[in-house]
Amino acid sequence: APFPEILEPVRRMAHGCASSAWTIGFYTLHNWMLALFSEQAQGEAFATRPFLAPAPLAPTGHGVACNGGIRLTGKWSWATGVMDG
| pLDDT at 3 > cutoff 70 | yes
User: For residue 83, is it within any domain?
Assistant: no
To the nearest whole number, what is the mean pLDDT of the chain? 84
User: For residue 42, is it within any domain?
Assistant: yes
User: For residue 82, is it within any domain?
Assistant: no
Count the helix, strand and coil residues of the chain and give each as a percent rounded to the nearest 5.
45, 15, 40
User: For residue 29, is it within any domain?
Assistant: yes
75 with 44: CB under 8 angstroms? no
User: For residue 84, is it within any domain?
Assistant: no
**Which residue range forms the structural domain that includes residue 71?**
3-77
Q: What is the mean pLDDT of residues 38-54?
A: 82
Q: Write out pLDDT tens, residues 47-85.
A: 887 777 767 777 788 899 999 999 989 887 777 767 665
Among residues 27, 19, 17, the alpha carbon closest in space to that of 7 is found at: 27
pLDDT at residue 83 in the model: 67
Q: What is the mean pLDDT of residues 23-36?
A: 84
| pLDDT at 9 > cutoff 80 | yes
Quote the number of domains for the chain.
Answer: 1
